[in-house]
Structure 1
């Protein structure tokens, strides 16, 4: 970037602002946003560059936007363009294309170009600095008095969650948000994070990937969130993660064990609390083989036709290969995503010559319940297991409507301890849930939200008052042996963005209540 040219453009803006057509002013500021933003972004990526220096430039450029824009829509558009340019500057440092010495020099050059000129003919002809100094900062996304970071003000940090809050799987979204809110409320009552309150804002995508982009865009552009936490769904995550990564926005603690949030090496801005669906399926197979004495060739997979089903199937296939068996021998019983059309899967099961004695379900709760209902009479001794993505509480409610013979013995792997247990994490969760949401029953999804949110809160506190995404990511990657009372410690690393690899076992009793099961 030619900073002398930028200085000239800034001067030209103030000289011509009164006479220029509105469209010309807007185009000039758009050009400036693309020049100033990378300087700010590269500075923000360098911890040794003093934040007040950066904040000063931000406030001055906020004044430029205020003077150029004639309405809120224009201000928002210019602010978003500036934010994107800032993100580009951050990326230059994070990718190694620029070092912090260069970033410091660029910022110093920009500061010098904005400083008041000494008296003289040349200075008189270019009155840019006085105009800057006189202009107060407007209320745009990057111009609040304390933080230059989207979603952070002097008293609040805003996070978003995308999930189904309407439709057949809405309860998972409601419960996950409930757990996050419980943890946030508890932290807020204890003083928040560096004096800031935590807030979660929801956007409904109906568990449909086609609606996810609109939902996450609403959270980012309208609600001005800092990051996403606890978003639900595997196919929907593929959309949300792409959007978040493009903007270098945190995507934390999603309710999915799918591979889309588990790249190798991990995406810098994507962190998981929960184990993968493949790990859950692996644990279920080993339990069936070692504890229940089921031959591995007599285990099949009932799977949704999407990433959720693929991940569960892949976990079972991995065990097949580990045991020296070709995974081509593994039976997959498919059903269409977001339906309960299970008849084709049942017909395929009936055609098998080798008897199937156990089925691992990688499915939604309604489809899993319908599959159990239609096969229980055909195969009364069949062992049904499911990975946690089913939504254990929702599956239990569906099966209880059918009667005790449909609930008894249904195994569900979980990524948190039994909600009826007595670990310190579960006791803390139940007490907090009763305090902030009286009448709400403990639930596996809300417990997961509570745990994930507390991991995030720990990292936020360690990051400190000068919070931005890059610093938070560094704090998360330095998380080691965090003890939240789960019975296992939680850690991240630069090469591992998954905090837990622990799988718990639960099984429904005749009353439709989950009881702990030792998987090993």
Structure 2
């Protein structure tokens, strides 16, 4: 008779004969190369051990406006990031680790953005401890984020990547850095939190890729000076700011004022001490509020013609988004060439509209080239789009031949989606972040990632002569590309500006 022996009995018998223990101990490690094929070094219960790469995905977080009035900004930024992630994953990931992006729709709303950040870093409240970062209890915009310390939870993402907007950032970034999580490549050029010392020691977790709004404003002012706005002395009275009535608009306006002081000098005592450059504002997310701003700008320009003689060249810096930008440009052009020519505004006013990069350049171009596409002048119809300037923080994908732009154009074409400056910015931010991941050779933690990113040199992506990170420099690019819209909605190169390098004009 055959006796059937259970599998468990056989295993137990063999182990007993061999003197082996049934307990399994993972191999410890310091870096991935300490482990065998298909294995990587990661923390488990705070101990670095070798595990299967397939069991160690790199989780990243992102939130932006994926719906609502400004959804083109969020969807395009997310698209560019996903192109970079997909490209890397198809090449094997980070030594076998898959990169994954967990995202939330914040509809460009500060409170929703804060909630998204809390969820993505799996916030744990330490009830008996005070906050670690100054911006937690005292953020730039009230109320307080928390009066208690916040820590990363077990389901926290490794880093937040490419979040969109200033008003959303000032509520989300304090949450992220308080928990000791990396906040990387935000789609905003604001100085507040991202480029100042407001969050104290926690600023080490913040890495910017793009140039700042202050740098964009400086480039814009140099363009205005070349066009002799207000004459060769760049009269401040011949400049206008059209901006969003929140931290985003304030960031652009502050950059414009500071750039004037750097380039020209102090404002005269007769200037308004709070707002020395005339400004007209609208409410975020509400395109119906541009009416009062448009009316105010018209009245100001009309008074300028009354007070001054001859032709008046005026520079208008726009810290806006594409919908309201389209409305403002159309309304001012229509007014300039309407039937009321008591001040000969059609011939005496020479206007230059210059938008900052956050406007959503492609969405603005699409709006301006939607019927009606032209306004009527004494010399015939002129396209609303023609001559509108956008200061960009990435090269012109329509003409640039750098390796990163060529590769972006290949990937975006393969995806079947239209290219844009915003998705190019997302792709570049993703590429730079992934280079930091590659440089991290041991277990992934926010602290190890900070060290890896600070060691990133210029990657030769073609985004300016002074690119790279360092321990004392957490902004990768210092360059601005001026572009000018043409009647057909395409962009031509206007100038190139980089920190401490003379501006180059292409006209």
TM-score, normalized by the shorter chain, greater than 0.5: yes
Distance 1:53 1:423, change over 3 A: closer
Which structure 2 residue ranges, 5 or more long, are not aligned?
1-28, 123-153, 306-312, 338-349, 375-382, 497-503
CA distance in 2 between partners of 1:349 and 1:55 (Å): 59
1:477 equivalent in structure 2: 454
Give the Å deviation of 1:446.
Answer: 0.5
Structural mapping, 1:260-409, within 5 Å: 260=192, 261-264=194-197, 267-291=203-227, 293-294=229-230, 295-297=234-236, 298-322=238-262, 323-326=264-267, 328=272, 329-340=276-287, 341-352=289-300, 353-355=303-305, 357-379=314-336, 381-401=350-370, 402-404=372-374, 405-409=383-387
Distance 1:282 1:53, change over 3 A: closer
Give the Å deviation of 1:223.
Answer: 6.3
Bigger proportion of residues as helix? 1
**Equivalent of 2:392 in 391, 397, 414:** 414
Distance 1:318 1:497, change over 3 A: same
8 A Cα contact 1:250 1:469, kept in partner: yes
Residue by residue, what CA displacement relative to the aligned partner does 1:224-248 show, whole Å, maximum 9, x if unpaired? 4221101001010011101101110
8 A Cα contact 1:244 1:251, kept in partner: yes
Distance 1:273 1:296, change over 3 A: farther
8 A Cα contact 1:159 1:226, kept in partner: yes
8 A Cα contact 1:144 1:153, kept in partner: no
Give the Å deviation of 1:145.
Answer: 7.0
1:428 equivalent in structure 2: 407
Give the Å deviation of 1:482.
Answer: 2.2
Structural mapping, 1:11-160, within 5 Å: 58=46, 146=51, 154-160=55-61
8 A Cα contact 1:203 1:218, kept in partner: no
Give the Å deviation of 1:512.
Answer: 1.1
> Mean alpha-carbon deviation: is it higher for 467-476 or for 316-325?
316-325
| 1:498 is the counterpart of 2:475 | yes
8 A Cα contact 1:480 1:491, kept in partner: yes
Give the Å deviation of 1:362.
Answer: 0.3
1:218 equivalent in structure 2: 119
Give the Å deviation of 1:144.
Answer: 9.7
Query: Per the alignment, in what secondary structure is the counterpart of residue 336 of structure 2?
Result: coil
CA distance in 1 between partners of 2:164 and 2:412 (Å): 20
Give the Å deviation of 1:494.
Answer: 2.2
Dislocated runs of 4+, deviation >6 Å: 50-54
Bigger proportion of residues as strand? 2
CA distance in 2 between partners of 1:497 and 1:216 (Å): 21
8 A Cα contact 1:230 1:252, kept in partner: yes
Give the Å deviation of 1:218.
Answer: 2.7
2:191 equivalent in structure 1: 259
TM-score when scaled to structure 1?
Answer: 0.69
TM-score when scaled to structure 2?
Answer: 0.71
Distance 1:463 1:289, change over 3 A: same
**Equivalent of 2:79 in 175, 178, 181:** 178
CA distance in 1 between partners of 2:327 and 2:452 (Å): 44
Query: Per the alignment, in what secondary structure is the counterpart of residue 203 of structure 2?
Result: coil
CA distance in 2 between partners of 1:397 and 1:493 (Å): 39
Give the Å deviation of 1:320.
Answer: 2.3
- Pairwise CA RMSD: 2.8
Distance 1:53 1:276, change over 3 A: closer
